[in-house]
Amino acid sequence: MIKLLDLQAITAMHGDEYKAAVNRVIDSGWFLQGNEYKLFEADCARYIGTKQCVAVANGLDALYLLMRGYKEMGIMQDGDEIIVPANTYIATIIAITRNNLVPVLVEPTWENLEIDIDKIEAAITPKTKGEMIVTLYARVAYNDKLGGICK
Read off the DSSP letter of residue 118. G
Tally of domains within the chain:
1
Residue 69 lies in a domain: no
What integer pLDDT is reported at residue 151 of this predicted model? 86
**Is the residue at 109 inside a domain?**
yes
Residue 13 domain flag: no
**Three state DSSP letters for 22-40:** HHHHHHHCCCCCCHHHHHH
Residue 129 backbone zone (phi > 0: left; psi -120 to 50: alpha; other: beta): alpha
- Domain coverage including residue 117: 77-150
What 3-state DSSP class applies to 47?
A: helix
Q: 40 in a domain, yes or no?
A: no
Contacts of residue 118, defined as CB under 8 A and 6 or more positions apart, other chains included, come to: none
Counting residues of the chain whose pLDDT is more than 90, the rounded percentage is 70
Cα 72 to Cα 97: distance, rounded to the nearest angstrom: 16
Residue at 38 is within a domain: no
**Nearest of 70, 93, 84 to residue 123 by alpha carbon:** 84
Residue 116 lies in a domain: yes
How far is residue 137 from each of residues 4, 5, 92, 98, 99, measured CA to CA in Å?
A: 8, 8, 16, 26, 27
Residue 7 lies in a domain: no
53-100 confidence digits (pLDDT tens): 999 989 999 999 999 999 999 999 999 999 999 999 999 999 999 999
Q: Say if 23 falls within a structural domain.
A: no
Does pTM top 0.85 for this prediction?
A: no
